[in-house]
Structure 1
Amino acid sequence: MTIIIDPQASGIAGNMLIGAFVDLGADADELKEIMEKSAFEFGKIEVTFEKVSKHGIDSTFCHVEMLEQKPCINYREFISKIENLDLNENVLETSIRIFRRIAEAESKVHGKTLDEVHFHEVGASDAVADVIGSVYAFYSLGYDLQKVIGLPIAVGGGRVKTAHGTIPVPAPAVVEILKDANMVGGPVDSELATPTGSAIYMELCDEIKEFIPQIKAKNVGYGAGRKDFDHPNVLRIIESSDITESDRIDVIETNLDHLTGEEIGYLFDTLLDIGASDVSITPIIMKKNRQGSLLKVISKRERREDIINAIFKETGSLGIRIAPHMHRGIAKREFETKTFDINGKDYDVTFKIGYVNGKVISKRPEYEDLKRIAKETGLALREVKELVR
């Protein structure tokens, strides 16, 4: 699938994302429990969901009511409390990255370091609920395995009152967070894109596009905003099928020019053991005509930090390049086991079968099965491969 987050009409906020995810099938009761429990360290909230009509558009409204707010704390203390929450590791890590986006934007706008930031938006219990609720719903729907495209964000206009006084819309922190995104002013004189919603959007989206790409829409969810305008105040999320399947990956690479062959081989095995999807090492010519090797690792996002730490530890590299949230087109894969009579004995061989658009493009026996048969029979590996072909 491809997931399209469409905030072109009425911007984006955390509760609008949650409402749209619930509209698409996320469990509202489960989200209510997670959100209220996660926010408890920062204040008391009550979460409710209801179906509403926004200018004729049937949508889900997630209402987060703040009942009690605890005093604001600094960023480091805030993150420490978040890290102690009883949440899935992926949900926790993604949520922390979102909070950091907001903190960095606030620190830059106000000329402070992260240690000095006491910003009200992230410290508020309702913002904690919005971030963790959005991320939890995102993972519960399996969207972390899909390509996520963000369309331009309507940011609104006019002025808004904040803890720092009256400021123009979009707020400076929103502009900072949405760097490299496509923003559209209006269509009303009101704040449409919140810092929290903007940070969630930037973290979850893999690509920012001007228009909807060629897709086949399958399901659509609408999350309602709190305000009423002369147009539907909703965020739209579209589930669509794509021409090819895709897989979200990170590509990690660094140059090596000082390791022995044995050390490179050990590094290769170590990276696969800790969860790298693929590892390749290519001979290269480096500056001053030195011979070296390019180490390239394909990794799922949840394994990225472990892999980076292993590369630093085993290579002593001073710099590692990371291309996050890339997509690779992948064929649909199935596994089929067949039994073969080889030298009077039955052996099971598993085949990996690849499909594109319903057509078989490859059907290959698994190497480990071929190796086992070769060792047991004394045949050459290529002979075993020919016999099962």
Structure 2
Amino acid sequence: MSGVLVIRTPSGLSGDMLLAGLAVMAGEAADIGSVLAAAGLPLPPDAVEIRPHALQGISGWQARVRLPHEHAHRRLGDIMALIEASHLSAPAKTVAARAFTLLAEAEGAVHGRPPGEIAFHEVGALDSILDTCVAAELLARIAPDRLVCSPLPLCDGTVRCAHGPLPTPAPAVQELLRGVPVRGLASTGETVTPTAIAFLRAAGFAFGYWPEMVIRQTARIYGGRVLPGVPNGALFALGDAGLAPVEQRPKGLTEPGSEST
């Protein structure tokens, strides 16, 4: 049987939610600092903590990120060099590099410039490097054969970025959503971040219904924002492809409809 990783996103998805969910699925939530330290990134080992969190009485997990503010505007080449110099596994480097390339291509399309000339602002900040690179390493450790995500929810609203307030979805997200199934959400605000959609596409997630699988573990993951009027949090599930074999019935029981008349 092959491993299946499923993400369901009733209220959307962000980079820190991906990081938290994959940490729990990989069994590294309590030791995420060691994962970060081993990655060899220019980030403090206590930059993130995965801890229990509850919303409306429903327990789950949340990533708490603590990073210094920086003014650096990195270009794609800078981030590629950072990834290459890290101690990430080869599969993780591939996914992380692809995610930032997709982001650069999307930003380039928005601003009418080549991807290599784009100076990242939000997505070049330390938190996006943390989310993307560590999530890529965690995914490599899980090593599922199949990746499935629900159609992504979108709603109207605004998002603040380096260029000022913009309507949702943000322009880079709009570019990255090409070919991705979406659905409307009766709320307001940003539901899908550039880091999240770039990672999903870089990792090769398919978008659709729940696949046939035998679930081994699940986790509910919360982000840093609460959207009004909708169920918040994402569901992560890990299991094996296919259906479980039908258990043999205890002796003495008959099949439905087979009773004597």
Q: TM-score, normalised by structure 2?
A: 0.83
1:6 aligns with 2:8: yes
Distance 2:69 2:147 in 1: 35
For residue 104 of structure 1, report the CA deviation from its aligned partner.
0.7
Hey, what's the Cα distance between the residues in 1 that align with 2:204 and 2:57? 28
Distance 1:13 1:200 in 2: 10
The equivalent residue for 2:194 is 195
Q: Give unpaired runs (5+ residues) of structure 2.
A: 246-261
Alignment partners' CA distance in 1, 2:219 and 2:204:
17
Same amino acid, percent of matched pairs: 23
Amino acid at match of 1:185: G
Contact kept? 1:38, 1:85, Cα under 8 Å = yes
Q: Which residue of 2 aligns with 1:19?
A: 20
Which structure is higher in RCO with an 8 Å CA cutoff and minimum separation 6? Answer: 2
Say if 1:169 and 1:39 are closer, same or farther in 2 by CA, change over 3 A.
farther
- The DSSP-based 3-state class of the residue aligned with 1:236 is strand
CA deviation after TM superposition for structure 1 residue 174, in Å: 0.6
Q: 2:89 and 2:41 mapped to 1: Cα distance?
A: 17
1:53–1:91 CA distance, 2 compared to 1 (3 A): same
Larger strand share, 1 or 2: 1
The residue aligned with 1:122 is 123
Match of 1:140 in 2: 141
In the TM superposition, 1:21-40 aligns within 5 A as: 21-35=22-36
Q: Please list every run of 5 or more consecutive structure 1 residues that lacks an aligned counterpart in the other structure.
A: 245-356, 358-389
Partner Cα distance (2:5, 2:166) in 1: 33
Note if contact 1:160-1:190 (Cα within 8 Å) is conserved in structure 2. Answer: yes
Partner of 1:184: 183
SS at match of 2:5: strand
1:82 aligns with 2:80: no
CA contact (8 A) 1:34 1:133 kept: yes
From 226, 229, 247, the equivalent of 1:228 is: 226
Match 2:217 to one of 219, 223, 248:
219
In the alignment, structure 1 residue 52 sits paired with structure 2 residue 53? yes
**What whole-Å deviation, never above 9, does each CA across 1:35-61 have from its counterpart, x for those lacking one?**
467685479972122101122332110
Residues 234 and 111 from structure 1, CA distance in 2 versus in 1: closer, same or farther, beyond 3 angstroms? same
Rg larger in 1 or in 2? 1
Letter in 1 for 2:211: P
* Cα contact 1:161–1:167 (8 A) shared by 2: yes
Q: Deviations over 1:202-225 (max 9, x none)?
A: 22244222x223333332122211
Report the count of equivalent residues.
243
Instruction: Give runs of aligned pairs for residues 339-378 of structure 1, distance below 5 A.
Output: none
Match in the other structure for 2:171: 172
Secondary structure of 2:196's aligned partner: helix
Q: Over aligned residue pairs, what C-alpha RMSD do you find?
A: 2.6
TM-score by length of 1: 0.57
Distance 1:91 1:105, change over 3 A: same
